[in-house]
A and B are shown apart, each in its own frame.
Chain A
Amino acid sequence: MGGARTRPEPQTGARENVIELPVLAEGSVEEISGRTRQRARFRGDFEYPGDDFEGPNVNRWQYLPQTPPVEDLLVEEVREIEGNEREMVMNMGPQHPSTHGVLRCVLGLRGEAITRCRPDIGYLHRCHEKLNELWSYQGTIALSDRLDYLAAMTNELAFVLAVEKLLEIEPTERADYIRVICSELQRIASHLLFFGTTALDLGAVTPFLHSFREREAVYDVFEYISGARLLYNYMRFGGVRTDFPPGTDKKIREVLDLLENRLPEYHDLLSYNPIFAVRTQGVGVLSRDDAIAWGAAGPVLRGSGVAYDLRKADPYSGYEKFDFKVCVEESGDVWARFMVRMKEIEESIKIIRQALDGLPEGDARGQVPRFIKPPPGEVYARVEGPRGELGCYVVSDGSDKPYRCHWRTPSFHHVSLLEFVPVGHLVADVVAIIGSMDPVFGEVDK
């Protein structure tokens, strides 16, 4: 990526400066600029700055469609870059295959090393919180699927838990177990997707195909349970919409067995591959203090050595009944975040097995008033989604629509980490870092 786009230095005798650029070896300047000039002549209307060997003030924005507007970089930053001969600005995204959607990063580069990174989001903004104020409570469950579309079950769960607290109703015990099973299956599906896309970002295509195959198996279960593969609209106040159809238990166990067989294959393919390890170990280190202060959550926080998991720290839906451990890695790099997720898949399998064994008989739907009109009040409910703490803050004014509904979405804060984590790394590492944060842009842009 960097090689072709880096500006060849004008040869003005300042050889030290040429060596500073990591992509250009000594002596290759002439050759590269000569080749590029040929191409420039071919295009006719393109003036390449390398043509102008004497001029010190070449236009450094030439590679961008326009000068970056001030809204992308701070005014001081633009001034700083303009005053600094060596720094150039590169635009990454919003249509970049590795940005997991529509993230745009404005990168400041010195050679191929990153000096600053400004994530620019909002390309997928769908007025989620405004729609929450306009739709009824039942419709909002269906809408919350669209927030983090790779973890629809946990989104619904956060909203449903919040409104249940306001309504002061308790879900039935069976419903709690079903919710736990669905959340954990969702976590597995989401982490499998993470496994595939991270590998894809780093150039390994095969693991992606493997993990998507298993993910489809999980989605088959969801289709069997709820009638939809991605956006379920399954949780209800006081329970879930339908009980498990007959045979679900067997289907889920089959998927779990399949996963347990396939996980070692994944590790063979990717996790312990030294090439992958070299690309990820020591890259994008997020210190423990930074992770806490910047509101990182879930696997990103646990990858930095903080053993904080809402399922243990503030149990909901009866998670305290299950025996599992919180996966923590100390090193805080891309590898740590990857390994936390891979271990969490195993823990999730354990939880689902326990829940299936202990699934109590009873009604999966609670007795709920016909009119969902919570009394005035406010509540903040939070669940541990696959990406971390997903919070839902609902204010009710006693009508049939939420007065205000705020979503605390973990990916939003993980994208904010990109302001400082990639600095000092190469452009190729940014891809790995973005992948390890696992942002979902439905959730970031709301």
Chain B
Amino acid sequence: MVEGDKAQPAMNDGTRQVLEAIRRDHPDWQPEVTRWGEVQLRVGREDLQAVARALRDDHGFNYCPSETVVDYVKEGRFELDVRLFNLDTGAKLVLKSDLPRDDATCPTLAGVWATCKWHEREIWDMFGVRFEGHPDLRRVFLSESFQGYPLRKDFVDARKPRPRLVRQR
């Protein structure tokens, strides 16, 4: 997926500046460029909050439209995927972090971008990733009495199937 500098024409100016700034200021972060022209950072979950804060304060990523988790059940990990944008320069960045499936916890980003409060509630609801330090970690769509986390790939619906009027595929 990552093609290095070959894919750079798709990058806009803001993203290019951010890439340079990150390479200059944080040599240990190892930014990559995705083929859609986004800077991608892969950080350990213990560094997540520090990196997020630096991105917001030093690089102007003030807008976080999407935060979600993908369940790679075969590899035994969740992948946290945070999309960041800079509203002023149009820079795009993806923040990735691997969370082990058997210890699905993650430091919260709600203190960095307030919108992550609800993103993380949704992730907790659907994947059961517990965000440490989250102010209000309740389920958002399902009721508190619901058992299990439905978007995990190994989720089994324990309820009786509803009768179908026409044969199911």
Q: Which residues of A contact B141 (CB under 8 A)?
A: 121-122, 125, 445-446
**Are the CB atoms of A122 and B142 closer together than 8 Å?**
yes
Question: B90 contacts A380, CB within 8 Å?
Answer: no
- Residue A430, interface by CB 8 Å: no
Cβ contact within 8 Å between B68 and A393: yes
Contact check: which of B63, B81, B142 meets A295 at CB < 8 Å? B63
Instruction: Tell me, yes or no, whether A416 is within 8 Å of chain B by CB.
Output: yes
How close is A18's CB to chain B, nearest CB, in angstroms? 35
Within 8 A of A (CB), among B56-88: 62-66, 68, 70-71, 81, 83, 87
- Identify which of B62, B63, B115 contacts A416 (C-beta below 8 A): B115
CA distance A204 to B3 in the complex (A): 57
In A70-85, the 8 Å CB interface with B consists of: 71, 74
A297 touches B65 (CB 8 A): yes
Q: Which of B70-117 contact A (CB under 8 A)?
A: 70-71, 81, 83, 87, 90, 94, 113-115, 117
Nearest residue (CB) in A for B88 is A308
Task: Indicate if the CB atoms of B62 and A314 lie closer than 8 Å.
Answer: no
Q: Mark B127-141, 1 if CB is under 8 A from A, else 0.
A: 000000000101111
Asked if B115 and A308 make an inter-chain contact with CB atoms under 8 angstroms apart, the answer reads: no
**Which residues of the other chain, B, contact A389 by a CB distance below 8 angstroms?**
65
Whether B150 lies near A406 (C-beta < 8 A) is no
| Closest-CB distance, A301 to chain B (whole angstroms) | 9
Contact B118 A393 (CB under 8 A): no
Partner of B115, one of A71, A125, A295: A295
A74 and B136 contact, CB distance less than 8 A: yes
> What is the CB-to-nearest-CB distance from B118 to chain A, in angstroms, rounded to a whole number?
4
Among B114, B142, B151, chain A packs the most CB atoms within 10 A around the CB of B114
Chain A contacts for B122, CB-based, 8 A: 412
Contact B65 A408 (CB under 8 A): yes
Which of chain A's residues have a CB closer than 8 A to the CB of B136? 74
* Residue of chain A at shortest CB distance from B14: A313
Q: Return the chain A residue nearest B122 by Cβ.
A: A412
Residues 352-378 of A, flagged 1 when their CB comes within 8 A of B and 0 if not, give 000000000000000000000000111
Residues of B within 8 A of A408 (CB): 65-66, 83
Q: How far is the CB of A139 from chain B (nearest CB, A)?
A: 11
B65 touches A391 (CB 8 A): yes
Decide yes or no whether B29 CB sits under 8 A from chain A. Answer: no
Residues of A within 8 A of B64 (CB): 295
* Complex contact A308–B1 (CB within 8 A): no
Query: Is A275 close to B, CB under 8 A?
Result: no
Our pick among B70, B83, B114 for the contact of A404 (Cβ within 8 Å) is B70
B94 to A, closest residue via Cβ: A380
In the assembled complex, A165 has its CB within 8 A of some CB on chain B: yes
Q: Is A129 an interface residue (CB 8 A)?
A: yes
Is A293 an interface residue, CB under 8 A from the partner?
Answer: yes
Given contacts A295-B65, A379-B36, contact A121 B151 (CB under 8 A): no
Asked if A15 lies at the interface with its beta carbon under 8 angstroms from chain B, I say no
Interface assignment of B28: CB less than 8 Å from any CB of chain A: no
Does A130 contact B150, Cβ atoms closer than 8 Å?
yes
Of A74, A129, A293, the contact of B62 (CB 8 Å cutoff) = A293
The one of B90, B117, B143, B151 in contact with A129, judged by C-beta atoms closer than 8 angstroms, is: B151
The interface residues of chain B lying within 8 Å CB-to-CB of A165 are 36
A308 near B87: Cβ-Cβ < 8 Å:
yes
Interface presence of B33 (CB below 8 A): no
CA distance A445 to B140 in the complex (A): 9
A61 within 8 A of B: no
- Least Cβ–Cβ distance between B169 and chain A, in angstroms: 10
Residue numbers in A under 8 Å from B94 (CB-CB): 380
The listed residue (A122, A133, A391) touching B140 by CB distance below 8 A is A122
The residues of B that contact A376 with a CB separation of less than 8 Å are: 1
If A122-B140, A413-B118 touch, does A292 touch B63 (CB 8 Å cutoff)? yes
B19 at the interface (CB under 8 A from A): no
Q: List 29 A-B contacts (CB under 8 A).
A: A71-B143, A121-B140, A125-B142, A127-B150, A130-B150, A290-B114, A292-B62, A294-B115, A295-B63, A295-B113, A306-B87, A308-B87, A378-B1, A378-B70, A379-B36, A380-B36, A380-B66, A380-B83, A380-B94, A391-B66, A393-B83, A395-B70, A404-B70, A406-B66, A406-B68, A408-B65, A408-B83, A416-B118, A445-B141
Please give the residue numbers on chain B whose beta carbons come within 8 Å of chain A beta carbons, in ascending order: 1, 36, 62-66, 68, 70-71, 81, 83, 87, 90, 94, 113-115, 117-118, 122, 126, 136, 138-144, 150-151
A125-B142, A130-B150, A395-B70 given; 5 more Cβ-contact pairs under 8 Å: A314-B90, A380-B66, A404-B71, A406-B66, A445-B141
The 4 closest A-B pairs by CB, nearest first: A295-B115, A122-B141, A408-B66, A416-B118
